[in-house]
Structure 1
Amino acid sequence: MDKAASASHPNKHLLITGANRGIGLALTTLYLKAGWQVDACCRDPESADDLNALTSTFDTLQIHELDVTDHAAIDALSTELASREFDLIINNAGYYGPKGYRFGGTDMDEWRKVLDINTLAPLKIAEAFHGQLLAGKPGVYAALSSKVGSMTDNTSGGGYIYRSSKAALNAVIKSLSIDLAPQGIIAVALHPGWVKTEMGGPNALISSQESAQGLFDVLAALKQEDSGKFLNYDGQVLPW
C-alpha cells in the first residue's frame, strides 16, 4: 500500500526474516502491495538497497537489523515489537552451506552453522514471538523449508548438511503444529521451488517473483486443517 492509501486501510501484519534479497524481498514486496504492515528483518540493513528503496513507496514497511543466530537479538526485537499482533510470521532466512563435497569430506563447522540458521533459529523465533502471533487472531507461522529435506524424495543421496537441516526444520514445524493447535495457530513448512537466487543458482526453474506469488497464494488459502503440512509453492502436499 502506498503512502496515500495506507492511512485509510487497516493493515494485516507480517514479520519476515531474510527480507533483503531473493524470495524474501519478493514476498516483502507482495505483502506491501497487498496493504500489509511489514516488519522486515535482515543482517545488514545498510547494504539492503532494494529493501530500503521500498520505504520510499510504502510507509507500512519497517526494517530491522537481525542476525537469526543471535538469540539475544531475537529476544530484544521481540521486546521492541511487543505490541505487534502478527497475522503471519515467515521464517525465510536460510543458508545452504558448502556445495560439491562428498561423503568423507563434510565440514562439521559449516554443518553447525547451517543447523543454527535453518533449524535452531526458526524455533527460537517461534518461541520469542509466540505472544505476538497469538495476538494476531491468532496467526500463521510459516518456515521456508526445501524438498531436499524430504526423506521420501531423497533418491540421490549426498547433501548431508542442507538436507539434514531442512528435515530437522520439518520436524520442528510438525511439532509446533501439534503444540500450538489448541491456541489456533497454524504452522506450515513451505517448499519455494527451485528458484533463481544466489542459493538456487542460474539453472533453477522459476524466478523469485513466481515462487513468492505461489507462496503468497498458498498462505492466503490456509485453513486450520492445513497446519502441520509440508506444502509446495503451488499448493501440492509434499511427502515427509
Structure 2
Amino acid sequence: MSSILVTGADKGLGLELVRTYCADGADVIACALAPDTADELRAIGARVLKMDVTRPEDIMSVSRALDGQPLDLLINNAGITGYGSFGDLDYEIFERAVVTNLFGSLRVSEALLANIEAGQKKTIATVTSGLASIADRSYTGALPYRASKAALNMGLRCMAEDLADKGVKVLSLHPGHIKTDMGGPYATVDTADSAAGLKQVIEAAPYCGELKFLDWEGRELPW
C-alpha cells in the first residue's frame, strides 16, 4: 500500500486527489486548514492533519507527527491565486501568493524529505500552473499568481537537481484550467478528470534529475 500526503486537501483539486488515491487503496494523509470540520476527508478514508503551509509551525508539527514514517509520494497542492497587473499591484496580495505558492511548497518538501527518502517511490509532485510559463504569452494579468508559480518552477528545477543523487523524483504539474472556486466560471476541465490524469502522469513519469513541466495529460509544457 502506497503512503501519500496531500496538502490543501480540504476542497477542490486537493480533495479530489485524496478521493482518487483513497479509492485506489492508498494510505492517504490529508492536510487541511480546519481538520475539525473535514468530515468528507475522513468519510473517504483519509487521515487528516492540520496544516496551513504559510505557518512553519504547522509544517513542523506535521513533520513531528510523521517522524520515521515513510512517504512514497508528497503532493504539494496547496496554493492561492493573486490578481493584479503592473502599475496597479497590491504587494500584500503579491506577498501572500509568494509565501503560499513558493515558500509553502519548498518548506513542506524540506520538512518531509526524510520521510520521502524512506519511501519506496520517493516522489515529490507539485501543482504549479500553465500560467507560470514565461514562453506562453496567451494570457495577461494575475501577475502575483503567475510570478509566484514561475518562481516555484525554478525552485523545483533546483530541487530536482539537488535531490538527483538521493533518487528522489520531482515533478512540476499543471492540472489544467479546472472547475474549482479558483478556476472560475470559464474553467474547462473537470476536477475528477484532472485528478485522475495527474495520478497517471505521476505514476508514469520516469525518474529524471532534470525536471520536466507536464500537464495533467502528460504533455510537456514550455518553461
Please say whether Structure 1 and Structure 2 have the same fold, judged by a TM-score greater than 0.5.
yes
Amino acid in the other structure paired with 1:79: R
SS of the residue 1:124 aligns to = helix
3-state secondary structure, aligned to 1:106: coil
Secondary structure in 2 matching 1:104: coil
Kindly name which structure, 1 or 2, has the bigger radius of gyration based on alpha carbons. 1
Q: What's the counterpart of residue 63 of structure 1?
A: 48
Q: What CA deviation, in whole Å up to 9, does each residue of 1:81-114 have, x standing for no partner?
A: 01211110000001002x4x44321110111011
Match of 1:217 among 181, 189, 200: 200
Q: Structure 1 length as normaliser, TM-score? A: 0.89
State, as a whole percentage, how many aligned pairs show the same letter. 37
Number of the residue aligned with 1:7: none
In 2, distance between residues paired with 1:154 and 1:120?
25
Runs of 4+ in 1 over 3 A off after TM superposition: none
For the residues of structure 2 that align with 1:19 and 1:29, how far apart are their CA atoms?
Answer: 10
TM-score between both structures, scaled by the size of structure 2:
0.96
1:201-240 paired onto structure 2 within 5 Å: 201-225=184-208, 228-240=211-223
| Cα distance change, pair 226–192 in 1 and its aligned pair in 2 (3 A) | farther
Residues 161, 209 of structure 2: 8 Å contact kept: no
Q: SS of 2:208's equivalent?
A: helix
- Identify which of 2, 8, 24 aligns with 1:18: 8
SS of the residue corresponding to residue 225 of structure 1 reads coil
Deviation (angstroms), 1:139? 0.8
Inter-CA distance 202–81: structure 2 relative to 1 (3 Å threshold): same
Residues 235, 226 of structure 1: alpha-carbon distance in 2 compared, 3 angstrom cutoff:
farther
Give secondary structure in 2 for the equivalent of 1:224. coil
Please name the residue that 2:58 is paired with. Answer: 73
Unaligned runs of 5+ in 1: 1-10
What are the superposed Cα offsets for residues 126-158 of structure 1, whole Å, 9 maximum, x if unpaired?
110010000012510011000100000134433
Does structure 1 residue 103 correspond to structure 2 residue 86?
A: yes
Shift of 1:227: 5.1
- Cα RMSD (Å) of the superposition? 1.3
Pick which of 33-42 and 223-232 moved more. 223-232
Q: Which runs of 5+ in 2 are unaligned?
A: none
Which residue is equivalent to 1:113? 96
User: 2:77 pairs with 77, 92, 102, which one?
Assistant: 92
